[in-house]
Amino acid sequence: MLKKLNQVIEYIEDHLTDDLQLKKISEYVQVSDYHFRTVFFHLAGMTLSEYIKNRRLAEANRDLLRGEKVTDVAYKYRYQSLDGFTRAFTKWSGILPSEVAKKQASKSFPKLTFLITVQGGKSMRYKVVEMPTFYLAGVSKRVPMQFVGVNNEIVELAKSITEEQRKEMHALQNIEPYQVVNASYNADSEFEKEEGELTHMIGVLTTNGDSNNLLEKVKVEAATWAVFPNEGSFPETMQNTMAQIYAEWLPSADYELICAPNFSFTKMSENKKNYAYCEIWIPVQKKKVIDKSS
């Protein structure tokens, strides 16, 4: 996967002035669109479309410094109008494109190179679990995609759960991991947007699909999950494990992501302050072997 990520970077560099279609990019390296864009997002810290936009604007800045006309540069980098380019460039650089050559203003955004650094030979514990069809039953809301720090929208969602809803969750849960989980799904266009949302649910796993006035239910088809247990200071250990999954495990594993909810749970220690046992469940499938001889 690491080699494929760097192949994509070179492909983007060669086609910055072309009509880059995001789904064509994942097809170029023969992996699923969802898997590729999700791994890219976690490793790069930005969406694939945002990376392409930043690279185009950086190259546009270089062209403007060389004295090329603003209109020519705008259409060269696939903007549909001069106004659209001006707004995007000004937001990105803090200066109007027409002023770049005059002020010799320069802002750079170098191309990425993906590397994996293994520190201290640390291995990851994980297990693979085959799950039957089940339902997520709980309360949910659309929240901003956020992978660092506290997501205040999720905090508010947790506070909104009533005691009656908690009792109903407890009565319904009948399948592992037998815990109240935080589940995420239905991200905007699989991370295509620069600023998107996803649905976050706090709830339980159950095989009971009957309608319920207290809780929402989301059907999840039978699939495979890679489960990563971790224990230590919270939330640092859990966040570090999540980062390691995307930065080290997925690029080298025989599995790829599928479009299904991922979820996690946390059990705080009663004896140690800010210490917890956590599990992160990531939906995956075996990577498909592509016959290159055909």
Instruction: Say how far apart CA 203 and CA 220 lie, in whole Å.
Output: 13
pLDDT at residue 191, as a whole number: 43
Cα separation, 222 vs 175, in Å, equals 13
d(CA 242, CA 235): 11
Average pLDDT over residues 88-112: 89
pLDDT value of position 50: 87
Please list, in sequence order, all residues whose beta carbon lies within 8 angstroms of the beta carbon of residue 111, skipping any fewer than 6 positions away: 9, 12, 13, 55
Cα Rg, the chain, nearest whole Å: 22
- Choice between 197 and 96, residue whose per-residue pLDDT is larger: 96
pLDDT band with cut points at 50, 70 and 90 for residue 42: confident
- pLDDT value of position 212: 84
What pLDDT is recorded for position 162?
Answer: 96
The stretch 112-123 carries a mean pLDDT of 56
Per-residue pLDDT at 37 = 79
Percent of the chain at pLDDT > 70 equals 89
Q: What b/e readout covers 87-99, taking b as 16+ CB neighbours within 10 angstroms?
A: ebbeebbebebee
Contact 107, 93 (CB under 8 A): yes
Question: Averaged over 192-203, what is the pLDDT?
Answer: 75
**Residue 290 clears pLDDT 70, i.e. is over it:** no
Predicted pLDDT at 148: 61
Is the pLDDT score of 237 beyond 50?
yes
Asked if the peptide bond before residue 283 counts as cis, ω within 30 degrees of 0, the response is: no
Residue partners of 163: CB distance under 8 A and separation at least 6: none
- Domains delineated in the chain: 2-103 (1.10.10.60), 127-286 (3.20.80.10)
Residue 57 banded pLDDT, cuts 50, 70, 90: very high
Backbone phi, psi, residue 167, to 5°: -65, -40
Q: How far apart are CA 113 and CA 108, in angstroms?
A: 15
